[in-house]
Amino acid sequence: MTTLIIATRNAHKVQEIQAVLGSDFRYMSLKDFPEAPKVVEDQPTMQKNAVKKARELAKWLQYLSGFDLRVPGASAYVLADDSGLEVDALNGAPGVHSARFAALDHAGSAPDENSSDADNNAKLLRLLADFPTERRAARFRCVLSLMQVKPPQPTLAGHLFEGTCEGHIAFDPRGGAGFGYDPLFIPVGGTESFAELGEEKKNAISHRSKALAKMRDAIITLIQGGKRF
């Protein structure tokens, strides 16, 4: 069975990935490797951040595999994602800085540590306070990077998969489920926020589920063709 080592300590994100991909994979995360080095997400795009996280964790796991039985065999892959919210009225912000949006200064720099969801949401609402519904268009974007743990040289970009979900920003937080900007994001054609939809409905339309579906289809296609991913 293919093992996916998910490059996150975010339990919500791990649960979403497991819910979408199902039981065809074995799952691990950074909670299984608490001593894994922290990767600074300092790249200018989500694509580059996802690749950087996957590459650095794959390198570290490859080194660890020489003496640590926790590391799976040749069928193990690192799955790293970078996701964010893009608001048209803010020229695509918070974008790549979504997790640290509240701490972002006027020069465009932010500390390495993430801001709280409440602080990020509060800042977004302040910036959009004077914008009517028709000017609150936004989208969630997810970029996945999949990289084998034990190739000869785990330094290539690996495989990239991307998904988006269009919608708009509500005027107030709604719902108690989800995480991040979920209480503020209402997908196109809906009236409920991601935080109100519940896991099953959200996973059917979310940006992450679309990227994961592309990844799953690519893996199945290669396996059916007798090739290794």
Nearest CA among 147, 189, 146 for reference residue 165: 189
- Separation between Cα atoms, residue 210 and residue 138, nearest integer Å: 17
Q: Collect contacts of 37-46 with beta carbons under 8 A, ≥24 apart.
A: 38/112, 39/7, 40/112, 41/82, 41/96, 41/99, 43/96, 44/96, 45/96, 46/82, 46/83, 46/84, 46/95, 46/96, 46/141, 46/142, 46/143
> Which residues are designated catalytic?
82
Residue 71's region, left for phi above 0, alpha for psi from -120 to 50, else beta, is beta
**CA separation, residue 47 to residues 7, 114, 120 (Å):** 14, 19, 22
